[in-house]
Structure 1
Amino acid sequence: MSLDIRARVQHLLPGIRRDLEDLVRIESVSADPTRAGEVRRSAEAVAALLRAEGFDTVDVVSARDDGRAPAVIAHKAGPAGAPTVLLYAHHDVQPENDRAEWDSPPFEPTERDGRLYARGAADDKAGIAAHLGAVRVFGDDLPVSVILFVEGEEEVGSDTLPELLRVHRDRLQADVIVIADSANWDIGVPALTTSLRGLVRADVEVRTLTHAVHSGMWGGLVPDALIALSRLIASFHDDAGDVAVEGLHRGPAADVEYPEERLRAESGANPGVEWIGTGSAVERLWTKPSLSVTGLDAPAVDGASNTLVPSARAKVSLRIAPGDTAANAVACLRRHCEQHVPWGAELGFTVVDTGEATAIEATGPAYDAARAAFTDAWDGTAPVDMGVGGSIPFIAEFLETFPDASVLVTGVEDPDTRAHGANEGLHLAEFERVVLAEALLLRNLAQR
């Protein structure tokens, strides 16, 4: 049967790729209000594919009054008594940013050296195509009942996902949930994602003056806000580079080797740059907090006047470890800023957004079925249980809404996918294995 499924995937793959390329050409950038029509067109295109695939019901839904951020919910029945599997992906994509940085047009899929390059080619329209391909393998003889749920605002925070899950809870109820929005460990090495860090973003502002003043007349007595903010930022880490904010959770990570040369290549770190923090590389990336400054509001160097800066602001991005909560992290970061802002400066602290960390207990029949399917699809290479340093906050929503379901986090990406960046690319040979693995998973779930 495995050989039959493998041959079927190989036969169907050209058509699956054509469907993926058609989806990629739609500029469904959810962060761009001027392309709201493209996001709607993307949802309708997904719905059309599912109707053509013979799904029993297909609906485009939205939790917004204006109909924006459309999602697609579709059902296809399997045998009576078979388990129900929900397959999740999202059809919205990140902005392409500076098109000059792309080696080919960002919304025209282009193959080079075994990769398909385009915005959304991997994240996450390939997830949609993988689900579609796995269902297509079985035609009208699905071994399980399938729900396909394709979201339309994941790239802007999934704000209405909780409402969608609440309103359509009965339609989305499943025994197993497969979320195809993560990555594999390496080319040729599959993975199940079992932990993800959460996120707290905050704007931190420091004010020392009511207005700018002459640096010669007042410097040496009155602190400028940029120096004060710099000292506050410096307090975020100790001398080893570990996050120095007290009260944040830290935990152990899986015993996975992340070779130095691979870390250098994949991170883009300069040869002379030293790693920060203590513990294993995967602990620092997966199960310990990290804190970064991702933006600054301060006078530009070019054209700066010779005055003391009255206020300065930084956007702080705190990744929180599995086992922590966003509420605790916000409280800890706020308290740290209040205690470390220097020289009596006025502090402003505004939470921008938060997302919960996720830890999945990846045991039981569904996970056994997945590991067997992945091992088969990758010709005997068993999947790695990996963590992810980034955040997919909506996974916590699924875990909370459907506590009895087994949630499997899979994906089509690899270490060189460059999701969210220029030249995002899908490794085509790995994509074939992903489609095969999901088809084998559906079969295995029916058998178990």
Structure 2
Amino acid sequence: MTQQSLADVVRDLMPRAKADLAELVAFASVADFRHFPAEESHKAAQWVADAFAAEGLTGVRLLDTPDGTQSVYAELPGPAGAPTVLLYSHYDVQPPLDEAGWHSPAFELTERDGRWYGRGAADCKGNLLMHLTALRALRRADGGYPVGLKVIVEGSEEQGTGGLEEYARAHPDLLAADAIVIGDTGNFTAGLPTVTASLRGIAEASISITTLAGDLHSGAFGGAAPDALQSLVKVLASLHDENGDCAVTGLTADQTWDGVQYSEEQFRADAKVPDDIALTGTGTVADRLWARPAVTVLGIDCPPVFGGSSSVQSTARARVSLRIPPGIDVKTGLDALVAHLEAAVPLGAHAVVERLGSGEPFRADTTGPAYAAMAEAMQDAFGTAMVASGEGGSIPLCNTLRTLYPEAEIILIGVEEPTTQIHAVNESVDPQELERMSLTEALFLRNYAAARTS
């Protein structure tokens, strides 16, 4: 079969990919079982297991990971002398956030203006369909797979609880492979084939402040009674300097990015930032997104505006995330964040700072044969040369895999691009990106097998 015929096969498979993605998006597989039923995640895991079994993979099973979630594992030996490739994705998703902000139901795949909308349509159920469609195309076009395959689909990546990392360390032979394709990123812009060569790590902490035995009437006691919410606001304000750069004590925020650049105009369009709103921080956009630490307040527990009483608050709490670039150890970053939060608490307030999840930053070596095979595949699928970019997000499993399998090449690709709005309301995927990335992966598996067995 020719490469063009493989492209035709992928195109013919797109209606099936859409139908499958609709089934998968319908599962509210948010791995926070305090807010979403665990059976939604369990049903999603079983769907994934059945889908890969249907494509001829063997050894399909659900792994009970130490954080109480399930990952899906499958494998299939390859032809004699062929390399083994591990395909990774995750089926868990972010919460829908403000459901009223969605233009269509979050857990119902909806086509609108040429895109497919739904929570997880891109991150990461769309990437999971990339893997499935690539394998289906090879099976239909070639009758089988040119490499040995392993598949691992995680159930708690978005929660950062580390269940799969811990499981992998306890079973070090399970995910061993010559090349590892992480389906959890995407192209720098739609139509520009991209490998993600750098990931920021993540460290999270919560801070709880108490100032009073209970809330007090703001008229009778306000002005003298210490306000926990006011104290918390002061602590959170100290995390950034006057330019909006990270001001966590002990961390530098002047690093530079020397790869592909991200113009301010494109960033504003991708992030939907109005022209009259200044961007945060200094340096180039790429510096700020990929090379420097960034701190974000993820949530605050305090009374809402609607329904709030006229009270001096006795307690307030916040969750803070620190993104850590390669070159800074995650423990160093988390220690600095905790120390900064503790030191910034105003005199007289009592604070408890708790360390939450964390994951190391990652930088890939892009010089090996798997990257050469991917560059060839991307050129053929997109008609333009592959580029390498950074990614501000974190995938903690990458460093676990690099530690366990130091000789394996790790490649990060996917269907996400800036307009997919992952983690936000109205997440979507461009079906053309899904088609081209599915073709890319199928061609990569062919190319890599040929390179390693020639």
TM norm structure 1: 0.91
CA change 1:347–1:133 in 2 (3 A) is: same
* Partners of 1:343 and 1:16 in 2: CA distance: 58
Q: 1:185 to 1:345 in 2, by over 3 A?
A: same
Q: Which amino acid aligns with 2:351?
A: L
Kindly provide the amino acid, as one letter, of the partner of residue 379 in structure 2: T
Count matched residues: 445
- How far off is 1:351 after superposition? 1.5
Does the CA contact (< 8 Å) of 1:114 and 1:429 recur in 2? Answer: no
Match of 2:56 among 49, 54, 57: 54
Amino acid in the other structure paired with 1:114: G
The within-5 A match list for 1:61-210 is 61-64=63-66, 69-139=69-139, 140-210=143-213
Alpha-carbon distance between aligned partners in 2 of 1:226 and 1:96, rounded to the nearest angstrom: 27
Q: What are the within-5 Å matches in structure 2 for residues 175-254 of structure 1?
A: 175-211=178-214, 223-250=226-253, 251-254=255-258
**Partner secondary structure for residue 146 of structure 2:** coil
Alignment gaps of 5+ in structure 1? none
Q: Shift in Å at residue 104 of structure 1?
A: 2.6
CA-to-aligned-CA distance 1:6-39 (integer Å, 9 cap, x gap): 2332233333333333323333332246532232
Asked if residue 12 in structure 1 is aligned to residue 16 in structure 2, the reply is no
Range with bigger deviation, 219-228 or 261-270? 219-228
Q: Which runs of 5+ in 2 are unaligned?
A: none
* Structure 2 CA distance for aligned equivalents of residues 60 and 303 of structure 1: 45
C-alpha separation in 1, matches of 2:10 and 2:310 = 67
1:205 alignment partner AA: S
CA contact under 8 A between 1:77 and 1:142: conserved in structure 2? no
Deviations 1:134-176 (A, max 9, x none): 2222224321111111122222225310233134432321000
Query: Does the C-alpha gap of structure 1 residues 342 and 433 become closer, same or farther in structure 2, counting only changes over 3 Å?
Result: same
What per-residue deviation string (whole Å, max 9, x for no partner) do you get for residues 271-315 of structure 1? 322122211111111111111222223444556665544443322
Cα deviations by residue, 1:315-367 (Å, 9 ceiling, x for unpaired): 22221222212211122123223433333533321122222222222221111
Relative to structure 1, the CA distance from residue 16 to residue 298 in structure 2 (aligned partners, 3 Å threshold; closer, same or farther) is closer
| Matching residue within 391, 394, 404 for 2:394 | 391
Bigger mean CA offset, 8-17 vs 142-151: 8-17
Name the CA distance, whole Å, in 1 between partners of 2:325 and 2:439. Answer: 33
Q: Kindly tell me: are residues 2 and 271 of structure 1, through their superposed partners in 2, closer, same or farther at Cα, counting changes over 3 Å?
A: same
Change (3 A) 1:346 1:85: same
CA drift of 1:223 comes to 4.5
Corresponding residue to 1:349 among 353, 367, 376:
353
Q: What pairs up with 1:296-445 in 2 under 5 angstroms?
A: 296-301=300-305, 308-379=312-383, 381-445=384-448
Query: Structure 1 residues 311 and 176 mapped into 2: Cα distance closer, same or farther (>3 Å)?
Result: same
Once the two structures are superposed, what CA deviation does each residue of 1:414-441 show, in whole Å capped at 9, x if it has no partner?
Answer: 1111223332211011111001100111
Report SS of the residue matched to 1:239.
Answer: coil
Q: In the aligned structure 1, how far is the partner of 2:96 from the partner of 2:233?
A: 32
Q: 1:256 to 1:309 in 2, by over 3 A?
A: same
What residue in structure 2 maps to residue 26 of structure 1? 27
Distance 1:26 1:345 in 2: 43
1:39 equivalent in alignment to 2:56:
no
Q: Is the 8 A contact 2:270 2:418 kept in 1?
A: yes
Q: Shift of the alpha carbon at 1:189?
A: 0.8
Residues 69-88 of structure 1: CA deviation (Å, up to 9, x unaligned): 22221112221111100001
Q: Distance in 1 between matches of 2:43 and 2:305?
A: 44
Could you tell me which amino acid in structure 1 is paired with residue 63 of structure 2? Answer: V
Higher alpha-carbon deviation: 431-440 or 233-242: 233-242
**CA-atom RMSD, angstroms?**
2.5
